[in-house]
């Protein structure tokens, strides 16, 4: 049971890193899957398999390489030259995504009439407190928020829809359900990579990592299906928050609970993205770590004034296309040997070479 608990912690971190406000709002699931109706279900099954396989492989690669950040993995997966470009791309995107999550946090509180500054300010202070001890903070926020999202999925399927949403139009939408599923996996996995490759620091046991990755990947598929089965019968074009639209007549504190879950998912994504930058620049090793982190968050908050929807539309499509240039090599390349074994192999080759050189000199003499 203790091992299962540790696997669940890894799974919660994985789920919380992948799932964000777009998922919790229903917009992401509807756009990538539910609008394709029955074909969307196949897309979700494919996504669950990809998340399970590549999530486990990324965790194990990070453990074997003893990666300090995603930059170390890029060098091994795509080579030194392209790794520099990938490093810049991911670092810039992580910063922009922090801004997006802060914009979303402000938008949630603004919707309740509490003002944009409250949601953004609480998110900045909360992220600072959570990342005092980065991995412990990441574990804590995801262990708290992810079960609430799972509860939301169950309630949606157990309760009756509170409003008659617009029905799905006759015929399938333009585009490929397969490409849509692959694109969804791509940008979510590349976002999760900075966390996944350093999870071995929190949980060094490879069996726990593998079990947690498989559990997390499968749970992501099941959780997405809970939302998909509710959304697939409707057309949500032009509706930003499909779940809130369908449940607008629910009472007994549902609007507050759902908004809390929505804000919580934005916050877990914020913490995960900020952790990616912390590990990349090794900020936690600096004496002025919290001041540096605060500066990053404040700068990102200024970026967030650009607007949640506009940032989302401009950043995500570009990011999804770029992501596969890293994920395909990650999927195809064999795992490296553990770092200790690799170091031993290099040392043995060095001493073997020395022995050959000595023999050459003896022959000449």
pLDDT at 361: 46
Kindly list the domain boundaries of the chain, sorted by start residue.
8-331
pLDDT at 351: 47
Spatial CA neighbour of 262 closest among 160, 121, 119: 119
Q: What is the CATH number of domain 8-331?
A: 1.10.4160.10
Q: CA–CA separation, 48 vs 151, rounded Å?
A: 19
Q: What is the mean pLDDT of each run of 10 residues along the chain (365 residues)?
A: 90 92 85 89 95 96 94 94 93 86 82 83 94 92 93 85 61 77 90 94 94 95 92 81 81 84 91 93 87 91 65 65 91 87 52 52 51
Q: Are 212 and 204 in contact (CB under 8 A)?
A: no
Q: CA–CA separation, 195 vs 269, rounded Å?
A: 11
Helical ranges in 70-115 per DSSP H:
70-78, 80-111
Spatial CA neighbour of 203 closest among 51, 56, 71, 21: 56
Q: Are 109 and 290 in contact (CB under 8 A)?
A: no
pLDDT at 171: 60
């Amino acid at each position: 049971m203790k091992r299962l608990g540790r696997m669940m912690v890894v799974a919660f971190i994985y789920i919380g890193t992948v799932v964000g406000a777009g998922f919790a709002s229903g917009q992401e699931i509807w756009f990538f899957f539910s609008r394709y109706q029955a074909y969307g279900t196949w897309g979700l099954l494919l996504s669950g398999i990809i998340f399970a396989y590549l999530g486990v492989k990324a965790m194990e690669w990070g453990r074997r390489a003893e990666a300090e950040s995603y930059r170390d993995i890029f060098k091994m997966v795509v080579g030194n030259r392209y790794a520099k470009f990938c490093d810049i791309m991911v670092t810039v995107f992580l910063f922009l995504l922090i801004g997006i999550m802060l914009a979303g946090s402000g938008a949630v509180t603004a919707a309740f009439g509490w003002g944009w500054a409250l949601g953004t300010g609480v998110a900045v202070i909360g992220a600072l407190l959570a990342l005092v001890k980065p991995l412990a903070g990441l574990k804590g926020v995801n262990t708290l928020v992810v079960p609430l999202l799972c509860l939301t999925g169950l309630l949606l399927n157990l309760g009756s829809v509170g409003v008659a949403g617009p029905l799905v139009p006759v015929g399938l939408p333009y585009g490929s359900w397969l490409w849509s599923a692959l694109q969804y996996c791509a940008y979510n996995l590349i976002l999760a990579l900075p966390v996944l490759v350093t999870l071995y620091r929190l949980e060094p046991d490879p069996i726990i990592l593998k079990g947690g990755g498989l559990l997390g990947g499968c749970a992501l598929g099941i959780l997405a299906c809970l939302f998909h089965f509710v959304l697939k019968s409707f057309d949500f074009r032009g509706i930003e928050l499909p779940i809130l639209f369908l449940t607008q007549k629910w009472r007994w504190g549902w609007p507050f609970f759902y908004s809390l879950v929505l804000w919580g998912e934005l916050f877990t994504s914020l913490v995960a993205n900020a952790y990616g930058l912390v590990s990349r620049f090794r900020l936690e090793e600096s004496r002025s770590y919290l001041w540096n982190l605060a500066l990053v968050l404040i700068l990102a908050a200024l970026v967030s004034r650009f607007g949640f929807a506009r940032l989302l539309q401009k950043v995500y499509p570009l990011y999804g296309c770029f992501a596969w240039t890293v994920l395909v090599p990650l999927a195809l390349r064999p795992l490296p040997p553990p770092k200790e074994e690799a170091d031993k192999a290099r040392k043995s080759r060095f001493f073997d070479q020395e022995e050959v050189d000595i023999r050459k000199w003896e022959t000449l003499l």
